[in-house]
Amino acid sequence: MKMSVIGTGYLGATHAGAMAELGHEVLGVDVDENKVALLASGQVPFFEPGLPELLSKHVTSGALRFTTSVQEATAFADLHFVCVGTPQRSGSNAADLTYVNDAFRSLLQHVRPGAVVVGKSTVPVGTAGALAVDVRAAGAQLVWNPEFLREGFAVEDTLRPDRLVMGAEDDAALTTLQQAYAPILAAGTPLVITDFATAELVKVAANSFLATKISFINAMAEICETTGADVTQLATAIGHDDRIGPKFLRAGLGFGGGCLPKDIRAFMARAEELGVDQAVSFLKNIDDINLRRRARTVDLALEMCAGSFAGRRVAVLGAAFKPDSDDIRDSPALDVADAIQRGGAAVHVYDPQAMGNAKNVHPTLAYSSSALEACDGADAVLHLTEWREFRELRPADLAAVVRQRNILDGRSILDAATWRDAGWQFRALGRP
Ligand code: UDX
């Protein structure tokens, strides 16, 4: 099938590559000329394991092309995926729908009658129903098909999703979309067909649940900190209950990134508009618990610096919001680094992939070219993003360069006994 993918960020670029992998002819569209030029040469403007290989394979074969022209896309295909971002609106909790509205406006100016438009962006409930009126007026049909990919696993999650969700009012449009996903459906992937509102809600409900699970265990970490209990053992024990499960119970610095924080805030903002804010008012607690973990990390770092950051040097290992990503949107690690720098310490940051992005957005922090260099002369070492290479750091190597053997594990991954045995003062969130 021929199809276009409008918006080529994390979601769109991965979707375009995955659709080409399924055997389709795909045209990716973006307003950013530089991004289009890079993608057209088979390169990816961000770090996502497996994606450069996927894109270059299909760019080379000719199955995947990129353009800045929406008109080229509507002349090329009658199936269009809208994958643009919906960031948090500045000064508000609500989602900024500018990119979605712009994408639909320009697409609907040129779309051919009978075409199918598929919305994949995460939008406030009610958006698809309103957009469907304009789509129908242009002679096309809308399907809402939310995406659940995780950064770091984007290719895998797109080609082998847990489920496909399609919200629609038109059977023919649904059939077209099922044809596009035929190999994924043939592999036995569950398909849930819904109305527009349910499809939109599935996405924010799933992210709210995941955020709640993380903040739940982080709330338990707060209790553990005042009682001397160990939240990692607690998580292991409750995770053995099938009904609870062990995933997303990793206590620590909490969630960040371009999805969970802004999605739960946008959900609260939309619920307020709908007059049902009480139903999701608990999400405010989820957000607050999450942000308190960052404050707690700063407090523990201060304790390690004997109560004052003035004249101290602090090493921050990690800048990305999670490992295997260079995404620093709402990064807990950089939030903590900023706060400690504001407190008066010299903060030296190292991340295997996110240095470029971090330097652009946080230019006043100091950056090192390795973990060891960041730790040089440090009074405290903070492990804030759980990259594999940080897990493999050897206490003796770090001990040779730091000023004080203080380490804080913000991600509950390091082995406390190994560090303590090597003479380090080891602290972790939610652990004695
Ligand atoms: C998330 C959802 O998982 C995905 O389905 C949705 O489409 C987009 O949002 P992503 O933001 O890529 O994906 O990251 P995810 O792996 O979910 O992690 C989110 C954050 O939670 C990270 O900062 C991570 O470090 C943190 N986290 C995750 C925890 O603190 N503890 C956990 O147990 C799990």
- CATH code of residue 93: 3.40.50.720
Beta strand ranges found along 208-363 (DSSP E): 313-317, 346-350
Residue nearest to atom 20 of ligand 1 (CA): 255
Residue 49 shares a structural domain with residue 76: yes
> Cα(210) to centroid of ligand 1, in Å?
8
| Pairing outcome for strands 191-194 and 164-168 | parallel
Q: Is 255 in the pocket of ligand 1 (CB under 6 A)?
A: yes
For ligand 1, atom 5, name the residue with the nearest CA: 148
Same domain flag for 233 and 380: yes
Q: 251 and 161: one domain?
A: no
Q: Which of 214, 244, 386 should be mutated for ligand 1, with most atoms under 8 A from CB?
A: 214
> Is 199 inside a domain boundary?
no
What pLDDT score does 8 carry? 98
Report the C-alpha gap between 135 and 127 in whole angstroms: 12
Catalytic residue among 83, 224, 259, 375: 259
- Ligand 1, atom 1, lies closest to the CA of 150
Integer Cα distance of 211 and 208 in angstroms: 5
Does the Cβ of 216 fall within 6 Å of ligand 1? no
Same domain, 155 and 251: no
Residues 99 and 36 grouped into a single domain? yes
Burial of 399 (0-12, 13-18, 19+ CB in 10 A): middle
Please give the number of the atom of ligand 1 that sits closest to the Cα of 247.
Answer: 33
Question: Secondary structure of 137-187 in the HEC alphabet?
Answer: HCCCEEEECCCCCCCCCHHHHHHCCCCEEEEECCHHHHHHHHHHCHHHHHC
Residue 206 lies in a domain: no
Does residue 179 form part of some domain? Answer: yes
Domain extent at residue 266 = 211-428
Backbone angles phi, psi at 377, to 5 degrees: 75, 15
CB 213, CB 248: distance < 8 Å: yes
pLDDT value of position 276? 98
In the predicted model, what is the mean pLDDT of residues 406-422?
97
413 inside domain: yes
Per-residue model confidence as pLDDT tens digits over 145-163: 999 999 999 999 999 999 9
Question: Please, what is the average pLDDT of the chain?
Answer: 98
Q: How far apart are CA 147 and CA 163, in angstroms?
A: 10
Q: At what angle do helices 260-273 and 282-304 cross, to 10 degrees?
A: 140
| Residue whose entry in the numeric block shows the structure tokens 């700063």 | 298
- Using a 10 angstrom Cβ sphere, with 0-12 exposed, 13-18 middle and 19 or more buried, the burial of residue 346 is middle
Give residue 109 CA to ligand 1 midpoint distance, Å: 37
Q: Are residues 257 and 361 in the same domain?
A: yes
Phi–psi pair at 426, nearest 5 degrees: -110, 125
Same domain, 414 and 269: yes
For residue 170, name the pLDDT band (cuts at 50, 70, 90). very high
In a domain, 203, yes or no: no
Answer with the one of 135, 167, 194 that is the final residue of a domain.
194
% residues pLDDT > 90 (the chain): 100
For residue 202, is it within any domain?
no
Side-by-side strand order, sheet with 141-144 = 64-67, 25-29, 2-6, 79-82, 116-119, 141-144, 164-168, 191-194
Angle among Cα 395, 401, 403 to the nearest 5 degrees reads: 100
- The count of other CB atoms within 10 Å of the CB of residue 33 is 9
Q: How confident is the model at residue 298 (pLDDT cuts 50, 70, 90)?
A: very high
How many domains, the chain? Answer: 2
Shared domain check, 228 and 315? yes
Q: Which residues pair with 347 in a beta bridge?
A: 314
List the Cα angle 327/331/336 in 5-degree steps. Answer: 145
Q: Which of 163, 194, 225 is the last residue of a domain?
A: 194
pLDDT of residue 25: 98
Decide the pairing of beta strands 25-29 and 191-194.
Answer: unpaired
Q: In this structure, is the dihedral angle defined by the CA atoms of residues 346, 350, 351 and 357, taken in order, positive or negative? A: positive
Give the list of residues 6+ apart from residue 205 with CB closer than 8 angstroms, or none.
none
Residue at 200 is within a domain:
no
The protein residue whose alpha carbon is closest to atom 34 in ligand 1 is: 248
Q: What is the spatial distance between Cα 390 and Cα 22, in angstroms, rounded to a whole number?
A: 36
203 C-alpha to center of ligand 1: Å? 13
Q: Is the distance from CB of 205 to CB of 238 less than 8 angstroms?
A: no
For residue 34, report the distance from its CA to the centre of ligand 1, in Å: 29
- Cα separation, 312 vs 346, in Å, equals 6
Which residue lies with its CA nearest to atom 22 of ligand 1?
A: 255
Tell the burial category of 219 from Cβ atoms under 10 Å away from its Cβ (0-12, 13-18, 19+). buried
Concerning whether 259 is annotated as a catalytic residue, the answer is yes
Q: Specify whether 405 is located in the same domain as 284.
A: yes
- Residue 204 domain flag: no
Last residue of a domain, one of 130, 165, 194: 194
| Atom of ligand 1 minimally distant from the CA of 154 | 12
Q: How many percent of the chain have pLDDT more than 70?
A: 100
Same domain for 302 and 349, yes or no, is yes
pLDDT score of 67: 98
- Give, as one character, the DSSP assignment of residue 87: P
Tally Cβ neighbours within 10 Å of residue 424: 20
Residue 322 Cβ < 6 Å to ligand 1 = yes
211 Cα: distance to centroid of ligand 1 (angstroms) = 8
Closest CA to 180 of 392, 361, 400, 4: 4
CA of 260 to the centre of ligand 1 (A): 7
Q: Is the CB of 249 under 6 A from ligand 1?
A: yes
Q: pLDDT (tens digit, 9 = 90+) per residue, 193-249?
A: 999 999 999 999 999 999 999 999 999 999 999 999 999 999 999 999 999 999 999
Does ligand 1 have an atom closer than 6 angstroms to the CB of 256? yes
Residue 318: the pLDDT is: 98
Residue 63 CA to residue 21 CA, distance in Å, equals 9
pLDDT at 333: 98
| Residue 411 Cα: closest atom of ligand 1 | 30
Do 230 and 156 share a structural domain?
Answer: no
Nearest to 304 by CA among 386, 381, 390, 374: 381
| Claim to verify: residue 143 and residue 243 sit in the same structural domain | no
- Distance between terminal CA atoms of the chain? 57
Write down the pLDDT at residue 92.
96
What is the rounded CA–CA span in Å between residue 241 and residue 381? Answer: 35
- Residue 382 pLDDT class (50, 70, 90 cuts): very high
pTM above 0.75, yes or no: yes
